[in-house]
């Protein structure tokens, strides 16, 4: 069993959101000037820090290459050079070209047209692109296409497992369902919640956690099943 069924998750997830929002405030994530910039950023941010992605995107902008048609027409060598700051540039150049060709082939290069496709139809299409996994796919769906789907990342897993809500090896689907089943399907809520979990992971719930300062310290300690399963929880 992955999720602790003895714990009512809805009030716990609501409390987590409230505490994080009070500590960090609105995150304004995803930072981008256009939906296509989100599309590109979601691919480039795989296995690297956002500051490196920003450098790569700035290179694309300076060359007028932040456009699906331009990316599709560039040689892989030139594209690799532009996105090199994001790391794994050979793999990511291939993925960017394939994703741009997909966007051109399926939606004439328009994110707006892509937005018109229902979530249940669009998600499998994005996942069919080589190198696009669930996290990248759902980041594009939520932040570029304004689809109500929760994005899960390593921070999400770490935070919830440390507080005894899931097992450490809970997979992407189980973690996503936890949020999707407990919370209203609102795009802005999902955007803000995901961004707040990232803020918590970066600032407090690190590999070596800062438990004494964590805004989730003491979360739901009064619930017996929760207490028994949360030996690794902060506080």
**Among candidates 77, 81, 75, 132, which has minimal Cα distance to 102?**
132
- How buried is 10 (Cβ within 10 angstroms: 0-12 exposed, 13-18 middle, 19+ buried)? exposed
How do the pLDDT tens digits run along the chain, 235 residues long? 444 444 578 999 999 999 999 999 999 999 999 999 999 999 999 999 999 999 999 999 999 999 999 999 999 999 999 999 999 999 999 999 999 999 999 999 999 999 999 999 999 999 999 999 999 999 999 999 999 999 999 999 999 999 989 988 899 999 999 999 999 999 999 999 999 999 999 999 999 999 999 999 988 643 444 333 433 444 4
Helix residue spans in the chain (DSSP H): 9-24, 35-44, 50-62, 68-73, 76-83, 89-107, 111-115, 119-127, 134-139, 154-162, 172-182, 187-203, 224-228
What's the pTM value of the predicted model, to 2 decimals?
A: 0.90
Please give the angle made by the CA atoms of 187, 28 and 65, to the nearest 5 degrees. Answer: 95
Cα–Cα distance, 45 to 50 (Å, whole number): 6
Domains in the chain, please, with CATH?
9-28+151-228 (1.10.1670.10), 35-144 (1.10.340.30)
- Count of CA atoms in the C-beta half-sphere (13 A) of 190: 26
């Amino acid at each position: 069993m992955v999720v602790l069924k003895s714990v009512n998750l809805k009030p716990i997830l609501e409390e987590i959101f409230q505490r994080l929002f009070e500590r960090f405030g609105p995150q304004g994530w995803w930072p981008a000037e256009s939906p296509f910039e989100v599309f590109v950023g979601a691919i480039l941010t795989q296995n690297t820090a956002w500051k490196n992605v920003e450098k790569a995107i700035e290179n694309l902008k300076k060359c007028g290459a932040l456009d699906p048609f331009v990316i599709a027409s560039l040689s892989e060598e030139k594209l690799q050079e532009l996105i090199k700051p994001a790391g794994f540039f050979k793999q990511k150049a291939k993925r960017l070209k394939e994703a741009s060709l997909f966007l051109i082939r399926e939606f004439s290069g328009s994110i707006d047209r892509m937005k018109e496709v229902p979530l249940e139809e669009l998600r499998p299409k994005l996942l069919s692109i080589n190198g696009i996994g669930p996290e990248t796919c759902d980041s594009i769906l939520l932040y570029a296409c304004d689809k109500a789907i929760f994005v899960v990342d390593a921070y999400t897993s770490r935070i919830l497992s440390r507080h005894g809500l899931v097992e450490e090896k809970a997979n992407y689907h189980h973690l996503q369902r936890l949020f999707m089943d407990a919370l209203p399907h609102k795009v802005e809520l999902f955007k803000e919640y995901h961004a707040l979990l990232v803020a918590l992971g970066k600032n407090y719930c690190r590999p070596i956690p800062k438990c004494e300062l964590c805004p989730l310290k003491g979360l739901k300690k009064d619930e017996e099943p929760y207490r028994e399963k949360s030996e690794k929880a902060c506080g």
